[in-house]
Structure 1
Amino acid sequence: MAQKATSVPRTGSWSRPPGPPSGKDSSGDAMSRIMPRGNLAALDLGTNNCRLLIARPEGDRFVVVDAFSRIVRLGEGLGATGRLSDAAIDRTISALSVCADKLRRRRVVLARSVATEACRQAANGAEFVARVAAETGIMLDIISAQEEARLAVLGCQSLLESGEGPAMIFDIGGGSTELVLLEDGPDGPRIVDWLSAPLGVVSLAEAVPGHVSDPAERAAAYGRMTALMREAFAGFAARLPKDRPVRLLGTSGTVTTLASVHLGLPRYDRQAVDGLVVPAEAMRDIARRLSGMSMAERVALPCIGEERADLVVAGCAILESIMDIWPAERLGVADRGIREGILRALLDSGSRRKLG
């Protein structure tokens, strides 16, 4: 889905976390205008990952006090059946139960929990959300693709390279890929166009299986992946400005994984990766090398391992396709996104910082 926009509205609701209520209850809109005393939390349930961030407000900033991340593959098999599978739901509820326990133990006073593409697409998405509420106490908000893009930008735009000319921030998810075109405005970056393509690392890997032993077949599968992404991006690409300086920032497991490979890290290090700026050609070279490796060779690489080895090639194809339509010389890397955007939205409640 693509849409031109002069602004991306702030939507969504906030809720008390699981556990006994503290103080008088109020509506989400009213609560979003009040800065509570205590810890805040943001939970992002994607097609592939479940991520939680708990933070303490300090002025107009927040300090992280706890975090959780687990690969749950909620959208596994969704493209074929149109439904969330029982196994995927069980894995996800197990992870969300851990999150609910952390919310209680950290005495979170205000939380927002969002679900994205898998729950948007699934015929049983609403049923799943109801079961999560009943079993964990977590109230998931299935957000629109537009809201997902806005939160990702809000969470990582501070890492965008300074300079003139348009910029693009992208988020490669499990079930979708968001591209957001920004231009400088009097109050900071302004969203002028965006796209949510219904292909992410999980859905693309399922659409084009690439786990084959023959190198020529692997190359052919990678070619089919990039062709699918070029088609998905075509309408948006035609609207992009040409012959102007461009900046590029990515937030996703794909870009942080490839950045780790670029740095040769023995294990993932967020401090080394978050905010890194890498030559685009270096990232493209890594993407092509990974796409030509066997599964066993990818598993053996530090920072990839078994959990990411089967999906990283699809991520590489998406990343290369983005760099094709937005040929920046450098790629900024962000290990932050929707969760930080949720927290920032609360801290900015009243909206001193506007996008659009």
Structure 2
Amino acid sequence: MQDTERYAALDLGSNSFHLLLAEFRNQRMVRLHTDKAMVRLAAGLDEERNLDPAVAERALEALVRFRPVLTGLPTDHVRVVGTNTLRAAANADGFLQRAEDILGVPIEIISGIEEARLIFSGVLAAGDGPPRARCVIDIGGGSTELVRGEEKPSKLESLYMGCVSYSRRFFPEGAIRDKKTNHFERARRAARAELQGLQHMAEGVEVVGASGTIKSVARVLNGGDLGTIERKAIDRLAEQVASAKHVDDLDLPGLEEERRPVFAAGLAVLHGIFCELDIREMSVSPYAIREGIVHDLAGRLHGGDRRADTVATLMESGQIDTAQARRVGDTATTLLSRLQEDAPRATVQRLRWAADLHEIGLALSHSAFRKLGAYMVENADLAGFGSREQEHLAHLIRNQRGRIKPPREHYGFHPDPNLLLSLRLACITHRDHIDRDITDWQLEAKKNRFQLTIPQAWLDQQPAIEDLLYQEMEHWRDQPLPLKLDTV
């Protein structure tokens, strides 16, 4: 296959960064190149959730070596995601800006639930037999994801426990036990407490583990192979590790040296999962989030975009008037094409989704539907979407009419005035849920203003819309590009 059929996924995890370059052959994914860097990003968060500069520099240095693999690939064939630590870091903006400058592609910060969905998709990509119900578990550096499902997830959970965060919290300077405290037991109990009420996740189904911590335990127990983790075997291993005084004392065949500092914490979490969910055995998948990202990318380009399914589900659950969403979307995309010829597919799609969801808040309130709709879209767990995408949609929904409110200023969020104006004019045109033809409208983005020109005969037939359009000019008066309305 040509290079343009290749896809790259980069996972900026809390413990390590992982890169995958893959392509599809006969509808089956083939891994071409993998790379990883153990950066332990989560270890760099202080009590105020600020990322330590030295840790950030270490992480950025790792990205430099990933860059050549991404060079030359179309941007829509590359997806870089940040997980728990970058979700939590209060000063992530500076790191993200430098990281994107190095990589040359945007970084998406995804929710824990989206992370869980991608992990499940990756495990399914292994194609090990017919679809069957299973529980997939992934212990990362800062969070642990659990997913139950068959061909798609039915239950997803993301818990704030991981091998790096638990190492910092429970294993001071690598100590496993001392005269006063069994740190391993404390960590295991904390993990079990996090899992209370989640016994149903693994009940009656096959349990599959994924990613570094679980792979590391599997190799220790199976002579270096990714064999099944049996309950009796992990019980013995947990007892052996808990009896050691320090991580440096661990003498475990198959334990990689770079994994040693966080192995005890990761094992405590995993053993807590086995105990609390009463797991008897766990198979181990060679695939995880990176393979899920690649499948997601291919789906976006070949008619299987998970985000479209999410929007359709929201429209149904929110009882949205689909005819109104269609007419507003059609008019908005037509206006955008006049402002910006050959607009990127992703830009047009964002505008269409904003139109689809612009009335979602009406299910809750008629007077505050814009504010509520924006809040729902920005804060919900939307499968397939990154946080920045949700923020852009929320900004459009919040500002579909009335005074234009400025967004929160932070790196990576740059609202597109072309999209906003297109949506607002479309909402005005169809305020009464009636189809109208805008063929004779002219809309241009000039150097110092937006220029809208409409036949006076058209406005004479729509006096209410004419008044709204003149009000719209007032709303744009203080914007970088004001709106000017002329008639012919």
The answer to whether the superposition gives a TM-score over 0.5 is yes
Q: State yes or no: 1:309 paired with 2:260.
A: yes
Residue 228 to residue 217, structure 1, CA distance change in 2 (3 Å): same
For residue 198 of structure 1, report the CA deviation from its aligned partner: 1.2
Q: How does 1:210-229 map to 2 (within 5 A)?
A: 211-212=174-175, 220-229=182-191
- Greater Rg over alpha carbons, structure: 2
Shift of 1:66: 1.4
Structure 2 counterpart of 1:22: none
CA 1:79–1:323: 2 relative to 1, 3 Å = farther
Q: Which residue of 1 aligns with 2:73?
A: 108
Looking at structure 2, the residues matched to 176 and 312 of structure 1 have their Cα atoms a distance apart, in angstroms, of: 15
Q: Does residue 1:329 correspond to 2:294, yes or no? A: no
**230, 244, 252: which is aligned to 2:211?**
252
Equivalent in the alignment of 2:5: 38
Q: How many residues end up aligned between the 2 structures?
A: 302
Does 2:296 align with 1:296? no
The structure that is helix-richer by fraction is 2
When normalised by structure 1's length, the TM-score is: 0.76
Runs of 4+ in 1 over 6 A off after TM superposition: 160-165, 352-356
- Using the TM superposition, give the Cα deviation of residue 249 of structure 1 relative to its aligned residue in structure 2, in angstroms: 0.7
Q: 1:322, CA displacement in angstroms?
A: 1.2
Q: Does the 8 Å contact 1:153/1:169 carry over to 2?
A: yes
Higher relative contact order (CA 8 A, sep 6+): 1
Select 1:88's aligned residue among 55, 63, 66. 55
The 8 Å contact of residues 262 and 282 in structure 1, kept in 2 or not, is answered as yes
CA distance in 2, matches of 1:172, 1:280: 17
Mapped to 1, the partners of 2:94 and 2:124 lie a distance apart of 34
Structure-2 separation of matches of 1:258 and 1:124: 33
Please list, as runs of the form range in 1=range in 2, the aligned pairs for 1:180-259 lying within 5 A after superposition: 180-182=147-149, 184=150, 188=151, 190-209=152-171, 211-212=174-175, 220-237=182-199, 240=200, 245-259=204-218
SS at match of 1:303: coil
| 8 Å Cα contact 2:148/2:201 also seen in 1 | no
Root-mean-square deviation (CA, aligned residues, Å) is 2.9
Q: Which amino acid aligns with 1:251?
A: A
The more displaced of 311-320 and 286-295 is: 286-295
| Offset, 1:232 | 1.4
Amino acid at match of 2:236: D
Given the superposition, is the C-alpha separation of residues 213 and 178 from structure 1 closer, same or farther in structure 2, using an over 3 Å criterion? closer
Q: Give the SS at the match of 2:196.
A: helix
Q: Which residue does the alignment assign to 1:8?
A: none
Secondary structure of the corresponding residue to residue 218 of structure 2: helix
Q: Say if 1:63 and 1:164 are closer, same or farther in 2 by CA, change over 3 A.
A: closer
What's the secondary structure of 1:47's corresponding residue?
coil
8 Å Cα contact 1:52/1:69 also seen in 2: yes
Deviation of residue 245 (structure 1)?
A: 2.6
- Partner amino acid, structure 1, of 2:21: I
Q: CA deviation at 1:61?
A: 1.5
CA distance in 2, matches of 1:213, 1:168: 30
* Aligned equivalent of 1:282: 233
Choose the corresponding residue for 1:125, options 92, 95, 105.
Answer: 92
Identity of aligned residues (%): 29
* SS of structure 2 residue aligned to 1:312: helix
Q: Which runs of 5+ in 1 are unaligned?
A: 1-34, 266-271
Residue 241 of structure 1 and its aligned partner are, at CA, apart by 6.7
In structure 2, the gaps of 5 or more residues are 311-382, 384-488
Residue aligning to 2:297: 346
Once the 2 structures are TM-superposed, how far is the Cα of residue 142 of structure 1 from its aligned partner? Answer: 0.6
SS at match of 2:4: coil
* Offset of residue 347 of structure 1: 3.1
